[in-house]
Amino acid sequence: MEILVASAIGLLASAGIYLMLRQRTFPVIVGLTLLSYAVNVFIFAVGRLVVGLPPILDKAAAGYTDPLPQALVLTAIVISFGMTAVIVIIALGAYLESGHDRVDMTDDTDEPEVRK
């Protein structure tokens, strides 16, 4: 199973970085979301993969998985949402203010694309 999780992390990160290297805001936001998935799963996997041993105390349990990475990732997921929400509004604001949704600020073709 480890190879599946590792390859999923790698693919998510690759796709995320590729989209973040695009030149429009929307793919960058989606790319950041994918990269967040990859990083969250990576941090989670640092606790090693365990099946059927949730960190809920129970007399019948045979053992428990490492609860610490889970606590870290739980807050990370919620914070990622906050961060995504902020960049979404920034992207939207930039588009509405400038009339285009390019990421790079080097382009001299600054003509608005929004219909007035």
Minimum CB distance to another protein smaller for 38 or for 111? 38
Minimum CB distance to another protein smaller for 106 or for 111? 106
Per the CB < 8 A criterion, the answer to whether 31 and 19 are in contact is yes
Q: Kindly state the smallest distance separating residue 84's Cβ from another protein, in Å.
A: 6
Tokens 């588009």 correspond to what residue?
A: 95
Which residues lie closer than 8 Å to 96 by C-beta, 6 or more apart? 114
- Number of other CB atoms surrounding residue 116 within 10 Å: 4
Q: Kindly state the smallest distance separating residue 39's Cβ from another protein, in Å.
A: 9
Q: Kindly state the smallest distance separating residue 111's Cβ from another protein, in Å.
A: 13
Q: Kindly state the smallest distance separating residue 22's Cβ from another protein, in Å.
A: 7
Minimum CB distance to another protein smaller for 57 or for 111? 57
Q: Which of 42, 48, 53, 24 is nearest to 113 (CA)?
A: 24
